[in-house]
Every structure is written in structure tokens, then in C-alpha cells.
Amino acid sequence: MKRFFQSVIVLILVLTTTSGICATPEIEILRQKVVAELMAPEVNESQIRHLMATIRPDGTWPGIDYVDVSNTGFQHARHLGNMVEMSRAFKKKGTRLKGDKKLKLAIYSAIDYWLANDFICENWWYNQIGTPIALNSVLLIMDTDLTKDRVEKAQPMIGRAHLTATGARPSGDRIKIAGILAKNLLYRRDEVQFTEVIKVIEGEIKFNTGQRGMQHDYSFHHREDRVNNTLSYGLGYADAFVEWAAFVAGTKYQFSEKPLQQLIDYYLDGICKQMVYGKYNDPGTKNRDITRAERHRAMGTTAPERLLKTTDYRKGELEEIIKIRKEEAAPTLSFGKFFWQTEHFSFQRPTFYTSVRMHSTRNDNMEVPYNGEGLMNHHRGDGTNYITRTGDEYTNIAPVYDWQKIPGTTILQKPALPSENEIQKKGLTDFVGAVTDGKYGAVAYDFKSAHDPLAAKKAWFFFDNEYVCLGTGINSSAKLEVATTINQCLLHGEVMVMSGNQKSMVAKGERQLEKVKWVLHDGIGYVFPEAQKVYLSNQVQTGSWFKINRQSDSPKDEVNKDVFKLWLDHGQQPRNASYQYIVVPATTEQEMDKAGQQIAILSNTPEIQAVKHTGLNICQAVFYTSGEIKVADNLIIGMDSPATVMVKTDGSSIKQISVADPSRKLGKIHITVSQKMEKSGENFRSSYNEKKRVTEISIDLPQTVYAGQSVTIEM
């Protein structure tokens, strides 16, 4: 570290004496930090030599379409990437290409071609973010090895990343664009403007519920459609802030503690709790990015490591995330979290993760298929319920997916999906929500399809080793089949079925199975409390990336993958059809015969859906109207309005009640219980009604930005 500071001081003296530029020590230290990070990646010398060998005299490369600047084209980004890689190779110590004269000429040729043409893409992102990032990186890396003329020509192009740019929307891409501007100001050693931009970056960490940005439940909305963008734009939002928080830590520009703590809360309680074990992306959070090829790999550790450099706040939790991502520790966290601003429920145990994605009158169903991506996402907000043990169950399944059999959804089986212009729709129902105490929870979805004449009451009830899926009031006027899909994932290993009293391994193919009690695939069991007819497919499915993603570099070749698909058929024009099944993750064939024995389905009607777990002494219920449910011989729970409720008992006595209002219309919830209790707290009151022989409990509900959040009271 001492040598580093000495070298910086020497550099400052050289700059002030040779170029007339005056930079303060801290500005120069920050500049060198940025450059050091740009230089960190390894150099692939063979790749660089290939770029040198194939560059044309005019500074272009074969295989890049320099004419198409459309949203789905713009292969020019590859040209920019080549420039950055070559610049790194030219300057990186320890490589045989450092200072190579032929490489330098190739870099000049590529830069000159870009500067002469100044390519503008129809997608604003490249003009205000992608291109400025690449050009600024080249300037920072090459530094004095670039001529003054080239630097001056590049500045207007980099300068498109500025705080009044159309893309620099507050709580959106503003923080990212401000970061690009900050790096350019470091390159120019403009301390005055740099100071102002750092203040802008720090100020962007704030709640912006109801608009673009971080919501009060720690989800993230990039647009006014209120679609969940936590693991896409919301991740970039966090990364941009974290990058600068680490850069300026220990300097006079250091961020204050409040935004740092808020960002860490958002990272741990928003981002990480929408990931499988805080490690892999939850496929249920994906929008159009589900149609991009990916590798099954853990999220990186850069962001949490940087956060640890800035503060000790929630240090242990950040360290645990790092260890999990590095596979130095197994997951330990158990939680149930409802993102009430986003209609997304996440549930985790150390051996599995699952989620439910919904939409309502408050939130649109899905992102628009911008730039030709996500062309078949019509139903992916219709109660999607992905279940994973390894995080690899759905990796790159998209090109062969049956897009009308999304896990957890009830969908009208149309001959073809509507136009891609019909994907995003406003929700038609407001009774969408969940009740949770932070560990267990129940999800309620008064589903009305935004695409088809179809409605259903759907609910999920989550416990430690299993969860229950109920559907009722399934009605459709269309003369088409209606299917509820239990799962559709990559086929991993054999499929076992218990039909009647016969257990068998299913050969590959597609079939209808009668009197099925359970199905087991890849360590996940599906139990039917009442033996019933199911449909099962475990065979090759065919498709292509280009069919779902029209980007110019999207492969057009046929893709084949083995897929497991399990669903229920409700027939044509169903009237008050229903379903019930139990998902048992992380189980074995030997355990399947006993699976679900502690589950009691108390009701599955259009009025009330309720489940009791006899082992945990937990009852969860969804009331679509006022009514009552018998929990035990001596315990009846009544509700005078639609709501969700979870009751924990100790023997025959209630010890805890959690409630929520999915409709977000109530100020209080009124419950009656057939036991004598008289207790009050800060947000609830109870009194015993001698005449009715019930305890009447009134619970205050959260309002404004917290409406939809659960309340838990101890009795």
C-alpha cells in the first residue's frame, strides 16, 4: 500500500509538471482504483492475436453487421468490446502483448473507425450507457497512449451519459449513467463536477414506492407498469451504487451510513431473498431475460465484498452470502417473504426454494417484449410457481418450453398464443396477496385471466417440508381445454408413479395416468390427497432460441431437451372445477408413502380455502368472503370480510395470529375465535362476547405504502 501511494504521488508530480493538469491526491487515487479494476480481468492472448490478424484495413472486423442499428441488431457492441480487450492487452503487465506496436496500430484503427462513424442505435441504452462505458474504458486504460485528437473526438460520444439524458430517470438508470459520468470526470480530473456527481449517486439510494425505483418492500420497479425488475434493473441499480461506495470508502467523498444501510437492507432482504439460496436467480423473477441463454453458475461475490469494505452493518449476513456463493457453506436461512408492492412471494428452506408470481389491478402481468425478447411470456405472471432444489431445474429450458404450461398456472390451452403485442396486460383483480409471519405463509390469488375468458380461486400454503396447492371456482366459457400445470422442468433421471397400489417407473413418452396417488421426479414429490387422473410427459421437446428471442445473434438452430411435464386437465368450459396437490421437495421414494400425512385440507371452495398442518399446529386460510372455518373440535375462526389469516396454536389454545388484506381496502380486520381471550396490544384489541361465546379481535392494518403487508400479534 505504501508503494501504491508513493507511485500515485509521483504520477501527480509528473502530470502537474508535464501537462499542466492539477489533480488532488484523492482524485488521482480514485482514478487509479478505477483503472486497476478495468485491468483486473485476464487477457486471452490468442484471442487478441486473432483480433489483430482479422481486423481489416478500415478498422472493422468480419462477421459484424455494421449497417443494422436496430433494437434487435446492433452487433457494433462486439466492435466496442474488442477495443476494450485489445486496450487491456496492450497495457497489462506480464503479457507478451504489452506495448506491442502492431496491437497499438490495430487499436487506433478500430477507434478511428468508430469515431468516424459514431454509430447510433435505435435502442437508447447503447447510446447513453453501452457505448459510453466502452469508450470511457478505452480512454482510462490507454490514457497517454491515445492522441489528444482521438480523446477530443470520443468525449461527445461518452458525454451522452449525462444527468439530463433521457435515460437518466431518477431511481432508474440515473445511478448507472451518473457512474459513467463520474469515471469520465476522473479521466478528465475534474474534481468540482466529480464531487457533485458523487452526491447524486449517494442520493439515489431511497424509497420511491409507486414510481420507478426501490419499493418499501425492497423490490424494484424499473417502469411505471410496476412489473418486478429486482433481479434485472434492480440488480444493476445496486451494483452501480456499491461500486462507488467501495471506490470512495475512506476518502472525503465517502457515503454516509444511512444510504449504505438502506442499500444493504435492499440487497439482503430484496435481491438475495428473490434468489435461490441467495445464490441463483429465481426463474419466477425473470421477464424477457428468460429467453437469453445462460450458464448455471452462482452470482458473483463482488457486490457483498465491496459492501463489507464500507460498513460493518449486517456483516455476518453478507459474509454468509459470500460463503454460499463460493460453495464454502450450505444455506441455513428459512423464510417466507411477500413483496406486497410487487405481488411476489418467496419461500426458502435449507433444502429447497420456491416462489409464486402474480399480478393485480395494481401491477401489470409482465414486461413488454422489448427488443424482440420474451416473445411468449403471456402467462408467466398468472400464478407461476417454480420449485427448485439445485437452482438448475430450469436452466435454458426456454427454447423448448410449452408456454401454455407454466408451473403453477391455470391456462386456457389455445391453438397458439396471441401476438407478442398482446403480452403486457393490466390486471383484472385486486384480491392478490399473502399472509406471512416471516417464516411460514399462505398466498391468495383471485385469478382472472387478462387474456382469456377464465377465472379461478388459487392458493398456496407453505410449511417446512411441503406446501399445498389448491384451486377452485375454475370457470371458462371457451370451448378449449383448461389445464393446471404442476411443473415443467428439465428431465433429470427417472420418474416414479404410484397409481392405485402399483408403484412403477415411467418409460419416456406422454400419457394419461389414472388413480395417481403421487409422482416423484428429481427428488421432488407431488402428492394427490385424493387419487386422480393426471397427465405426464417425460420426453424430448423441440424448439429454438430465435422463436422466442429475435435478437440478431439469437441462434436459429433446432434445440432438443429432455423435459418433465406434469399437469391436470379440467376439460372444456369447466364449471367450478377444482384441484388439490401437495409438493414435497427434497424427498425420496421411501418417504413418499408417508408424504403429506400431516396435512389436512379443511376447505377448498370459492368462499374459503384453508389448510391445517397437524405437526406444526398451524392453520392458514384464505377468506374470499365473510365466513368461518373449523380448525379443531373446540376452535372455530370467523372473519367478517375477505382476508388471509394464519393461526398458530399450542394444543387447543391460540398463541399467534397473522393477518393481511390482499385487496388493500381495509383499515382493520375483525376476527372471531371460539375461545375466551382478553388481551390488547399496540395494534389490536380483543374482548369476549358472552352472548355469542366468542372472542372478537380487531387488528389494525398497515396503510399507504405498507398496505398489503402482514401483521402478526401474540396472544
Q: What is the DSSP letter of 594?
A: T
Query: Is residue 487 domain-shared with residue 423, that is, in the same domain?
Result: yes
Query: Is residue 369 domain-shared with residue 251, that is, in the same domain?
Result: no
DSSP character string of 405-420: --TT-EEE--SS---G
pLDDT at 3 over 70: no
Exposed (0-12), middle (13-18) or buried (19+): which is 667, by Cβ within 10 Å? exposed
2 within domain boundaries: no
Which tens digits make up the pLDDT trace of 92-148?
A: 999 999 999 999 999 999 999 999 999 999 999 999 999 999 999 999 999 999 999
**Other Cβ atoms closer than 10 A to 507:** 10
pLDDT at 12 over 90: no
DSSP character string of 454-520: EEEEEEEEE-SS-EEEEEEEEEE-SSSEEEEEEEEEE--S-EEEEETTEEEEPPSEEEEEEEEEEEE
- Can you give the CATH number for the domain in which 428 is found? 2.70.98.10
Exposed (0-12), middle (13-18) or buried (19+): which is 392, by Cβ within 10 Å? middle
607 within domain boundaries: no
Query: Is residue 152 domain-shared with residue 45, that is, in the same domain?
Result: yes
User: Which pLDDT band holds residue 546 (cuts at 50, 70, 90)?
Assistant: very high
Query: Is residue 151 domain-shared with residue 170, that is, in the same domain?
Result: no
Exposed (0-12), middle (13-18) or buried (19+): which is 53, by Cβ within 10 Å? exposed
Q: Which three cell numbers stand for residue 457?
A: 380461486
pLDDT at 11 over 60: no
Q: Among candidates 479, 484, 572, which has minimal Cα distance to 528? A: 484
The DSSP bridge partners found for residue 536 are: 511, 566
Look up the domain containing 82 and give its range.
Answer: 41-159
Q: Which three cell numbers stand for residue 483?
A: 389445464
Q: What is the DSSP letter of 198?
A: H
What pLDDT is attached to residue 25? 85
605 within domain boundaries: no
* Prediction pTM value: 0.93
**Domain boundary residue among 328, 344, 374?**
328
DSSP character string of 328-378: SS-----EEEEETTTTEEEEEETTEEEEEE---SSS-SS---GGGB-TT-T
d(CA 457, CA 494): 33
Q: What is the DSSP letter of 43?
A: P
What pLDDT is attached to residue 261? 97
Sequence-ordered alpha helix ranges (H) in 40-167: 45-54, 76-91, 101-117, 124-125, 131-142, 148-158
pLDDT at 153 over 60: yes
Query: Is residue 217 domain-shared with residue 68, that is, in the same domain?
Result: no
599 within domain boundaries: no
Q: What is the mean pLDDT of residues 554-579?
A: 97
Q: Are strands 502-505 and 441-448 parallel, antiparallel or unpaired?
A: unpaired
CB 419 within 8 A of CB 316: no
What are the CA-CA distances from residue 699 to residues 676, 702, 715 (Å)?
Answer: 17, 10, 12
Q: What is the mean pLDDT of residues 652-657?
A: 90
Among all chains, which residue has been given the C-alpha cell 434485472? 232
603 within domain boundaries: no
- Can you give the CATH number for the domain in which 677 is found? 2.60.220.10
DSSP SS3 for 8: helix
Query: Is residue 652 domain-shared with residue 561, that is, in the same domain?
Result: no
What pLDDT is attached to residue 22? 54
4 within domain boundaries: no
- Can you give the CATH number for the domain in which 251 is found? 1.50.10.100
Residue 597's φ and ψ, nearest 5 degrees, are -70, -20
**Domain boundary residue among 594, 611, 641?**
594
What pLDDT is attached to residue 633? 87
CB 465 within 8 A of CB 616: no
Among all chains, which residue has been given the C-alpha cell 418492500? 217
What pLDDT is attached to residue 23? 61
78 within domain boundaries: yes
Query: Is residue 121 domain-shared with residue 250, that is, in the same domain?
Result: no
Count of domains forming the chain:
4
Query: Is residue 438 domain-shared with residue 318, that is, in the same domain?
Result: no
d(CA 691, CA 693): 6
pLDDT at 568 over 50: yes
Mean pLDDT taken over the chain: 94
Q: Which three cell numbers stand for residue 249?
A: 470508502
Q: Among candidates 124, 254, 129, which has minimal Cα distance to 179? A: 129
pLDDT at 484 over 90: yes
**Amino acid in position 89:** A
The DSSP bridge partners found for residue 256 are: none
Higher-scoring residue by pLDDT: 391, 11: 391
Query: Is residue 323 domain-shared with residue 190, that is, in the same domain?
Result: yes
> Ramachandran region of residue 408, left (φ > 0), alpha (ψ -120 to 50) or beta?
left
Query: Is residue 560 domain-shared with residue 462, that is, in the same domain?
Result: yes
Query: Is residue 56 domain-shared with residue 140, that is, in the same domain?
Result: yes
Which tens digits make up the pLDDT trace of 322-363?
A: 999 999 999 999 999 999 999 999 999 999 999 999 999 999
pLDDT at 453 over 70: yes
**Amino acid in position 527:** V
d(CA 240, CA 263): 11
Q: What is the mean pLDDT of residues 191-198?
A: 95
Count of residues making up the chain: 715
Q: What is the mean pLDDT of residues 503-523?
A: 97
**Domain boundary residue among 313, 328, 343?**
328
Q: Are strands 352-357 and 344-349 parallel, antiparallel or unpaired?
A: antiparallel
Which tens digits make up the pLDDT trace of 289-310?
A: 999 999 899 999 999 999 999 9
> Ramachandran region of residue 277, left (φ > 0), alpha (ψ -120 to 50) or beta?
left
Query: Is residue 149 domain-shared with residue 181, that is, in the same domain?
Result: no
The DSSP bridge partners found for residue 488 are: 565
14 within domain boundaries: no
